[in-house]
Amino acid sequence: MNNSRSVTVSGIIRKRLSEFEQRMYEGESQTSIVSDLNEKDGITISLKNFRQLLSRARKAAQKKLTLAEPVQQPVTTALPPEIAKVEKETKANPEKERPPLNEKSKRSKMSLNDMNKLLNESLDLDNI
């Protein structure tokens, strides 16, 4: 009885995926990789099956990355220039109080078109 573990061709492809990706990135064809698998490694596989197993291995690797715990990154939000200016003024003059939300403010009202423009304009993050 053989004590070595039985290994499937798909398992070999998954295990050596990064090697195959690197070889293809360097310009080696899938045909030559299949030839190496057939001749040097003693694995009998057709080009069609190699491509199918390679695709499945890539999907499994992508799924593994997706299921990994997400990295916690700080969330930064950029304020529109009008609000940022008010924030700076308030910080510069702490004794100056803002009116309560239910009181009418003396600020000019924005039209719906102006609000849409503000929401749709792309922010220049270099100036923030």
DSSP assignment of 12-66 equals HHHHTHHHHHHHHHTT--HHHHHHHHHHTS-----HHHHHHHHHHHHHHHHHHHH
Range of lowest pLDDT (20-24, 57-61, 115-119): 115-119
Tell me if 30 sits within 8 A of 50, measured CB to CB: yes
- What pLDDT was estimated at residue 99? 59
Q: What is the DSSP letter of 107?
A: S
Q: Is the pTM of this model over 0.75?
A: no
Other beta carbons less than 10 A from residue 52's beta carbon? 14
Tell me which amino acid residue 100 is.
Answer: P
pLDDT at 2 over 50: no
pLDDT reading at 4 higher than 60: no
**What is the model's pLDDT at position 45?**
92
Q: Residue 14 is encoded by which pair of tokens?
A: 């998954």
pLDDT at 118: 74
